[in-house]
Amino acid sequence: MSGDARPLAAPGRTDYPGPAMDARDNLYALLADRLATVPDAPVLVLPGGGTVAGGELLAESARIARLLLDAGLEPGDRVAAQVDKSPEAVALYLGAIRAGLVWMPLNPAYTRDELAFFLGDAEPRAWVCAPEREGELAGIAPGARRFTLGRDGAGSLVTEARARPARAPVVPREGSDLAALLYTSGTTGRPKGAMLTHRNLASNATVLVGAWEFGEGDVLLHALPIFHVHGLFVATHCALLSGAPILFEPRFEPPRVLALLPRATVFMGVPTYYTRLLAEPGLGREACAGMRLFFAGSAPLLPDTFRAFRERTGHAVLERYGMTETGMLCSNPVRGERRPGSVGRPLPGVGLRIVDGEDLPLPAGQVGHVQVRGDGVFPGYWRLPERTRAEFAGDGWFRTGDTGTAGEDGYVTLSGRAKDLVITGGLNVYPKEVEDALDALPGVAESAVFGVPHPDFGEAVAAAVVLQPGWSPSGEELISHLRTRLAGFKVPKTLHFLSDLPRNAMGKVTKATLRERFGGGGG
């Protein structure tokens, strides 16, 4: 992204399009309604001081929508984009859904082979890549019209779009029509395309704006990528729907974020962002004096990190819980107790239950499988009807794959992923419980617990451990400490010391990588 000002519409243009009256349930109409009320106000504030106003963003979305329609795309066609974060990328997203198309963002880090799978599975009618990768990716998706878009806004997409007028219809869509197709991380097995409807995204965004009390007085410091739910459908939607300007940063850089905090009121990040901010000497109450909310999601925030951040800044990080397939499900409150280690209560309109292996509800406080329902829950996986049926209980509740408990007061605490459940000698071990015990030991920075094959027990508990600088406890010492805190069958049989835990683009630990690396036996 360029640090210079680069308005998306020609100077002096005022012909930004408002939402069409017949747009019905098109998500774009909801977003455009709000943007049309701030045509001259900054919506995106760029690093070099440039801004993009609401009218400019709408005008550019119209040009891009017109380009895609002129290219022969029809409602329901997919538009895939593997591009860097930029104002033009936001306009591309808005233009795609405006035209009734299905938005399909892809991680810029994906290789050619990975892209070949995604594009072959989704069969987009158009796809956009970075100019520097055009030669490398030649031949992929031969049936799709290809455009380019660079982080500086240059490329064939913008060149061709700006030759068109800033007028395009808001194509009518039903709430049940697809608005986006997002592929799961694929840490185990074949990646699956989660189909998200206009109703899914609109309902979740509306609920979040209300639950988190977003308003025009807010300023969102946005350092997340925008190829996933957190950065686009949570962070960006909340700001666009509330009229809050976005400090639109190309990436997370701790010194830069720290310098921008006095200009912001809201910050959203993954737990890694908070541990790295805590390493900045300048982080303190003065730097955060104007902040209203800090959010953490996409991975569990360690209670120690929660407490350390609160001590340094005076702010209790608001942790919430969601999935690609469901949007946000639970949240700690804006006003009320933000409980470390808990993801809070279910959001308005979300049904959540804890069940046993037969889908029968369990009493409060008992560990079980988390199932949900509501307007935010997706209809299923792209072209995988059997997998879709398997992921929903007989009465329509979605099986999240997470395990956890719900207290009498409604607060939900996650124990781990059901697929991460370790069954050793017929006994269940929930990795989160063991990780919490490990992370509490002196010298342990973080850990990941997983199962590995064992000739006797079926599975054995194993752990990867990252030590704090200057500490060097032995595996025997750590296991000895754990034996005083956990039942013997929960204590890892093997420990593996690593400099860093493997993570995906969202900051989640990829336990499949650990299983593959250390799965030769349980020792």
| In contact, 227 and 107? CB cutoff 8 Å | yes
Mean pLDDT of 129-133: 96
* pLDDT for 508: 86
Q: Name the helix (H) or strand (E) containing 119.
A: helix 112-122
* pLDDT for 23: 63
What CATH number is given for 422-518 in this structure?
3.30.300.30
From the list 520, 458, 445, the residue with the least C-alpha distance to 489 is 458
Residue 425's CB: how many other CB atoms inside 10 A? 12
Q: Name the helix (H) or strand (E) containing 96.
A: helix 87-98
pLDDT above 90 as % of the chain: 80
pLDDT over 60 at 175, yes or no: yes
* pLDDT for 8: 61
What are the E-state strand segments in 166-256?
Answer: 178-183, 193-197, 220-222, 246-248
CA dist 179 and 202 (Å) reads 10
* Mean confidence (pLDDT) of the chain: 91
Q: Which of 91-95, 131-135, 443-447, 519-523 has the lowest mean pLDDT?
A: 519-523
Q: Which of 29-33, 262-266, 300-304 has the lowest mean pLDDT?
A: 300-304
Q: What is the pTM of this model?
A: 0.84
Mean pLDDT of 17-21: 40
Distances 134 to 128, 146, 228, 313, 523 between C-alpha atoms, Å: 9, 9, 23, 45, 48
- Write the pLDDT tens digit of every residue in 190-206: 789 999 999 999 999 99
The CATH number of 207-417 is which of 3.40.50.80, 2.70.98.30, 3.10.180.10, 3.40.50.12780? 3.40.50.12780
CA dist 278 and 426 (Å) reads 41
> Structural domain boundaries of the chain?
27-42+52-173, 207-417, 422-518
The SS3 of residue 147 is strand
CA dist 94 and 85 (Å) reads 14
Mean pLDDT of 302-312: 94
* pLDDT for 184: 84
Write the burial class of residue 357 (CB in 10 Å: 0-12 exposed, 13-18 middle, 19+ buried): exposed
| In contact, 375 and 203? CB cutoff 8 Å | yes
| Architecture, CATH, for domain 27-42+52-173 | 3-Layer(aba) Sandwich (3.40)
Confidence of residue 20 (pLDDT cuts 50, 70, 90): very low
> Which residue would you say has higher pLDDT here, 427 or 202?
202
pLDDT over 70 at 522, yes or no: no
From the list 335, 331, 324, the residue with the least C-alpha distance to 352 is 331
The SS3 of residue 403 is strand
Length of the chain as a residue count: 523
Q: Which of 6-20, 146-160, 351-365, 482-496 has the lowest mean pLDDT?
A: 6-20
* pLDDT for 425: 77
Residue 408 CA neighbour count, 13 Å, CB half: 0
CA dist 473 and 229 (Å) reads 39
Evaluate whether 27-42+52-173 and 422-518 have a shared fold.
no
Mean pLDDT of 105-117: 89
Mean pLDDT of 488-508: 91
Mean pLDDT of 78-99: 98
Confidence of residue 11 (pLDDT cuts 50, 70, 90): very low
Q: Could you write out the three-class secondary structure of 476-508?
A: HHHHHHHHCCCCHHHCCCEEEECCCCCECCCCC
CA dist 56 and 41 (Å) reads 10
